[in-house]
Chain A
Amino acid sequence: MATDSGPRYRLLGGRIPYIEGPLKVTGRAEYTDDIRRPGMLVGRLLRSPWPHARLRSIDTAAAQALPGVFAVLTGEKYPTPFGVLPITHDETAIAVGKARYIGDILAAVAATDERTAERALSLIRVDAEPLPEYTDPRMGVTKVAEPIHTRGLLGTNIQKEVVQHFGNVDAAFAQAVHTARVRGNFAGVTHAFTEPMATIAEATPDGRLTVWSATQVPHYLHRALSEVLGIPMHRIRVIKPEVGGGFGGKSDPLPHEIVCAALSLETGRPVKILFDREDVFYTNHGRHPTQNDVRIAIDGTGRILGYDIEAIIDGGAWSSFGTVTTYYNGVLAMGPYRVPNFRYRGRRVYTTKPPSGAMRAHGGTNIRYSVEVALDELAEMSGIDPFDLRSRNALPPNSKTVNEFRITSTSFLKCLAAAREKSGWDEKFRKLPYGRGVGLGCGFYISGSNSPIHFTPKIPQSTVHLKVDMDGGIAVHSMQADIGQGSNTLLAAIVAEVLGVDLERVHVQRVDSDVSPIDIGSYSSRVTFMMGNAARAAAEQLREKLVRAAASLLDRTPESLEVVRERIQEKDHPTTGVSFLEALHRAMEKEGALTASGSFDTSPLGGSFKGARAGTAPAYSFAAYVAEVEVDRDTGEYRVPKVWAAFDCGRPLNRLAVEGQVEGSIHMGLGQVMGESMSYRGSRLFNPSLLEYKIPMPQQMPEVEILLVGDDDPEGPFGAKEAGEGPLIATLPAVGNALYDAVGVRFTDLPITPDKVLKGVDQRRKEGRLWKGE
């Protein structure tokens, strides 16, 4: 494996337990709801019972008069629209004029305790006129009676339409020897992190506002608070305590965070808003329900000639990241393959349902399922093994896609080779008895969005500050947000690696906008790549100061010295050297505590056409997974005993964390393919609890053989690329294609529940098609 060659590092590349692990296993890690402030009030939200309604009036007098109530807020007070993308600000902190889904926030109260707050909510009278509900995105693609937002395209509910055409798709299909078409239907799924959202806000008499919140992106929250509340950013302090999982669901600035701050401004007291699980489900921002239509053409040798794709994406009530989602559902369909001709039409449509947003492997998951199932079908039609079909079409390193994505490192062929060999593919594919099968699914994902969301002012995507004082402890400040993926540990390990010190010297400080330099947070699988490079740059500056100090102590040139564990010594005479502390203290003589600032920014990538930046990344991850399934003939239930997960994340810097990301991703991917579904009756979410929204149990989790085969990436820190999201994608098509191998049915309606398996098998038999010696 390539990662066994190249430079060796003292810490990086090993298995590094999380530095905050001891706090987490003892219950001492501090999450937002664990924080108490003196005189803290309870904030509660009144949510809309209507999917779509015009708000005529909201009478809060009785609630205001209730003893123990300190404030009641409605939408007019802070009507400034906001949203995660500057181009689609269509949310308000509290509904103004209209309610747009069941769960939309209509009013908020702050009271001394929970019971009083609930009582106050029950006293608020809302006079509303129900409006038409739009439950299916297809209802909104033409002009509608009452558009959900005025910003919809030409009187429709279309939030964003993307039309792209590269090459000549019609000509490509005219030359095709085989074509396949897959019409996929995907239920919405949600993050189901264990920590419900929680926010505490405290406005103080010095004119400042402090906000603690369970967020993945403290910086975007900081901006949104400033914009909506009309307070300059420097008078707002955003603190991120430990966050109990995010997976994209805590990446938008959310209305309740702004409402909580507004309630504190109104009352002059600290206010906490803690969500219950129903609040979490209604807030959603999960993976979009999607209908896609994928056609792929190949020539007689199995080379891909073109893709022709359409997608209808159910956005729910707001835009959120939706413009990005709409692009990603097209452009992320190409890699890991060379696709010379590509046509895509994607429409994201508002509906009167809880908003969809970014969820792990955002925009790359549903489309990938349909593409990989179509390729499986083409392999069968052409008589080419699914592995061979894919390797014939692999994008080579240092190439460009037809839409001008820059591909640098790719070890996709190594992923294919490893998955094929380790899974025993050649002995199993189409050879296992009826009811058992293996399937191949591949993946491709961005290692950080090359484009930041905000362009003004122009600042680096990531900055890391270091400070070392005479105690020899190294304080690290950065606004990267550890939400459980291990970024604090990686940050510490990179600093320790470069400086040659023990990990315990490095203290990663909690994100606090008063002292943390801006990093744009944990989304788009950007942290390892961007924060990692920034941390390395900062630590190298400190190392230079320390080496110069050691050189002056030893009367040698800096070039003749090297940094080893807790020591700086002469390369040729290792016995001549000084300790880290000796060098530090010399270096401090003139400037006091040593400080350094490192940053990383992306340079422009992509073509010059409209939307060219969407999906550009400084690097991409690649995957090839084989799943094995066993189907129960009588019940249609199936289990996945094993997954072979070959993944290219470049050089894995913390194997323990990468394995955790791969296994967690497979768990989440299995949930989506096997059973998870946000179920609606009309616009009403029917299963807003973890009892009814079922994530896979420990017993359903397969054995996972992880094959990390990536070559070093030329620009990633120490050769690394992302491992947080890409590992999810291949899981779904690997299972779908394994089910085909097992029972001879193409499943394109997700989740694939046992009833669908039974129905599919019945249908196939009715059509007279027998499978594997039935």
Chain B
Amino acid sequence: MPSPDPLRFRLNGHPVEVACEAPRILLDLLREDLGLTGTKRGCDLGTCGCCTVLLDGRPTLSCLTLARLVAAREVTTIEGVTPANGLSPVQRAFVEHGATQCGFCTPGFVVTATALLRDTPHPDRPEIERAIAGNLCRCTGYRKIVDAIAAASREVA
């Protein structure tokens, strides 16, 4: 079977060219082939949100996305929303407000929250709850996550 053309897309702001067969899932491409292990595998079924990345800026479940569908598009992972030095306002708020416990769901929440605050800089609590409804957390009961996102939104000009 001839190998398909390499897959070309932008990942965290940089062009990437990588061998990728048609059935490859974006989550596997990121974690296994590109070594970006910040994106987590929780359910493989699109139910937990741990694998959330931004595809052209929109929160997307990488476990339900065929990798070749991202050709010529922009993928941003947790590594991409993290500043080179220190933490983003969302990340800082998650730490300070106790919004991370076991931490396994946290990258997905941070990615989702980053997109929310970019589009809606000052969401109210119901808007925050709606935005994170696709991300499961079993540790916090969500309240401190909502607190953290609300606090981060206050830092947004």
> What is A's interface to B at a CB cutoff of 8 Å?
15, 17-18, 20-31, 33-34, 191-196, 242-247, 274, 276-277, 483-486, 656-657, 659-660, 663-668, 689-691, 695, 697-699, 701, 704
Contacts and interface: CB of A to CB of B under 8 A. Distances in A.
B107 A27 contact: yes
A690 B107 contact: no
Nearest to B49: A194
Nearest to B99: A25
B47 A21 contact: no
A194 B143 contact: no
Given A26-B79, A699-B133, 10 more contacts: A24-B106, A25-B94, A29-B103, A192-B136, A193-B102, A194-B50, A195-B104, A656-B98, A660-B139, A698-B142
B39 to A, nearest CB: 7
A719 to B, nearest CB: 21
27 contacts: A15-B98, A17-B96, A24-B100, A24-B103, A25-B90, A25-B95, A25-B103, A26-B82, A27-B39, A192-B138, A195-B102, A196-B42, A245-B102, A245-B139, A277-B42, A483-B102, A484-B101, A484-B102, A484-B104, A486-B101, A664-B138, A664-B139, A698-B128, A698-B133, A699-B126, A699-B129, A704-B143
A701 B146 CA distance: 11
Contacts of A29: 103
Given A18-B100, A194-B48, A691-B45, A660 B144 contact: yes
A194 B47 CA distance: 11
Nearest to B100: A24
B95 A17 contact: yes
Nearest to A486: B101
Contacts of A247: 138
Nearest to A483: B102
Most buried by A among B38, B100, B136, B146: B100
When A and B form their complex, which 3 residue pairs have the shortest distance between CB atoms, in order from nearest? Answer: A27-B38, A484-B102, A244-B104
Contacts of B45: 277, 689-691
Contacts of A15: 98
B133 A697 contact: yes
Interface string B69-91: 00000000111001000010011
Interface in B1-58: 36-45, 47-48, 50
Contact of A698 (B50, B95, B102, B146): B146
Contacts of A664: 101, 138-141
A195 B48 CA distance: 10
B105 interface: yes
Contacts of A274: 41
Given A27-B37, A31-B40, A691-B47, A663 B102 contact: no
Nearest to B36: A27
Contacts of B141: 660, 663-668, 701, 704
B150 interface: no
B98 A689 contact: no
Given A25-B106, A27-B79, A704-B143, A690 B43 contact: yes
Contacts of A33: 37, 41
A23 B141 CA distance: 21
Nearest to B98: A656
Contacts of B50: 194
A195 B40 contact: yes
B67 to A, nearest CB: 15
A534 B140 CA distance: 28
Nearest to B95: A21
Nearest to A670: B141
B101 A485 contact: yes
Interface in B101-157: 101-107, 110, 126, 128-130, 132-133, 136-146
Contacts of A691: 45, 47
A196 B103 contact: no
Contacts of B105: 194, 244
A242 B130 CA distance: 29
Most buried by A among B41, B102, B145: B102
Contacts of A31: 40, 104
A22 B94 CA distance: 9
A15 B145 CA distance: 16
Contacts of A28: 38
Nearest to A693: B47
Given A277-B45, A484-B139, A22 B95 contact: yes
A445 to B, nearest CB: 18
B144 A663 contact: yes
A193 B138 contact: yes
A671 B146 CA distance: 19
Most buried by A among B42, B110, B133: B42
A156 to B, nearest CB: 36
Given A690-B43, A690-B136, A660 B101 contact: yes
Contacts of A242: 102-104
Contacts of B133: 697-699
Contacts of A34: 37
Contacts of A486: 101
Most buried by B among A664, A691, A695, A699: A664
A414 B95 CA distance: 32
A194 B100 contact: no
A137 B145 CA distance: 40
A183 B139 CA distance: 31
A563 to B, nearest CB: 27
A25 B87 contact: yes
A194 B95 contact: no
A667 B103 CA distance: 17
